[in-house]
Homo-oligomer: A and B are copies of this chain.
Amino acid sequence: MSATVRQAPVIKVVPEPENLPEPLPEPAVGELRLETVLGALSDPLRLRIVRKLLLDSEAFDHSCGWFGLDRPKSSLTHHFKALREAGITRQRQYGLERRSHVRVDDLNSRFPGLVDLVAAWTPPDTP
């Protein structure tokens, strides 16, 4: 168990980019397309990822392994990339790991209510 996911500060809506790695390539807010976002969210695994980020994360970014998904790493890369390219998540490189968080403000401004729908979703087979 190496380090747990512990990290220090309670911040997260961090205003200062100086100590933060640059986000990976992503669409700007104005470029978000409803059909693309819906397509990205139509996959149960990705829906679960976004929902977990919304519900279980306090205010931090989370790395791939935090989600506890039993899929090959290359599959996870695929889905995290799909979410980022659709504009749903933002990813930053922290040393080795690539951490994600949901672009809640961007999504709420362009598609109000959508984030709440995902948060209220119940997975098909999870107790």
Number of interface residues of A (CB under 8 A): 20
Option from B33, B36, B113, B124 in Cβ contact (under 8 Å) with A113? B113
Asked if A44 and B35 make an inter-chain contact with CB atoms under 8 angstroms apart, the answer reads yes
Q: Taking the full assembly, how many copies of this chain does it contain?
A: 2
Option from B43, B44, B47, B113 in Cβ contact (under 8 Å) with A114? B113
- Known interface pairs A39-B39, A113-B113, A116-B113. Does A121 touch B34 (Cβ–Cβ under 8 Å)? yes
- Known interface pairs A112-B113, A113-B116, A114-B113. Does A38 touch B35 (Cβ–Cβ under 8 Å)? no
**A111 CB–B CB distance under 8 Å:** yes
Q: Which residues of chain A have a CB within 8 Å of any CB of chain B?
A: 33-36, 38-39, 41-44, 47, 111-114, 116-118, 121, 124
